[in-house]
């Protein structure tokens, strides 16, 4: 029997308990923070589901910045990978961008992320040659905030050229 199709939609408050239960560091409160940014506007937090089971999430940040709109925080649970969830989430968020009048989408990725880069290229993102230094604050397992800096490569995808 074929698998049920993947459904992608904006995250709702009812989705949060299932997402929080799957967080590797629940103290970081990542899903709630993403949902709160969406509630503030111009930020779209999407969830992919199959048979009501979360496969992963991603966000589209349309708030004014150098990379606008920016695909962010694309994450598919390790046991759910290679089933099309990343493509489904990305396609959905690109549709959100196009519906808001954007003609391209950007993303940033660690140049050493050997798994993500081929996936993004397969999703028709191309490197711009630009790099952005990003400062991240992460919550460590002991509850302490750990600051780190990473230089990310910038990729873009045209929403008008196919």
Span 5-42, pLDDT tens digits: 999 999 999 999 999 999 887 777 889 999 999 999 99
pLDDT bracket for residue 74 (50, 70, 90) = very high
Sheet holding 43-50, edge to edge: 7-10, 43-50, 53-61, 70-76, 104-109, 145-158, 126-139
Classify domain 7-158 by CATH architecture.
3-Layer(aba) Sandwich (3.40)
For 28-37, 87-96, 135-144, which range has the lowest pLDDT when averaged over its residues? Answer: 135-144
């Amino acid at each position: 029997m074929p698998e049920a199709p993947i459904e992608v939609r904006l995250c709702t408050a009812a989705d949060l308990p299932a997402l929080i239960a799957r967080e590797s560091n629940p103290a970081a409160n990542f899903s709630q923070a993403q949902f709160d940014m969406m509630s503030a506007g111009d930020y779209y937090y999407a969830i992919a589901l199959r048979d009501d089971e979360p496969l992963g999430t991603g966000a589209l940040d349309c708030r004014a910045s150098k990379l606008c709109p920016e695909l962010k925080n694309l994450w598919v649970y390790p046991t759910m990978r290679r089933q099309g969830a990343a493509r489904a989430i990305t396609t959905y968020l690109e549709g959100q961008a196009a519906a808001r009048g954007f003609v391209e989408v950007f993303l940033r990725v660690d140049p050493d992320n050997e798994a993500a880069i081929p996936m993004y290229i397969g999703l028709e993102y191309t490197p711009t040659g630009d790099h952005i230094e990003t400062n991240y604050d992460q919550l460590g397992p002991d509850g302490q905030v750990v600051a780190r800096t990473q230089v990310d490569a910038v990729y873009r995808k045209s929403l008008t050229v196919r």
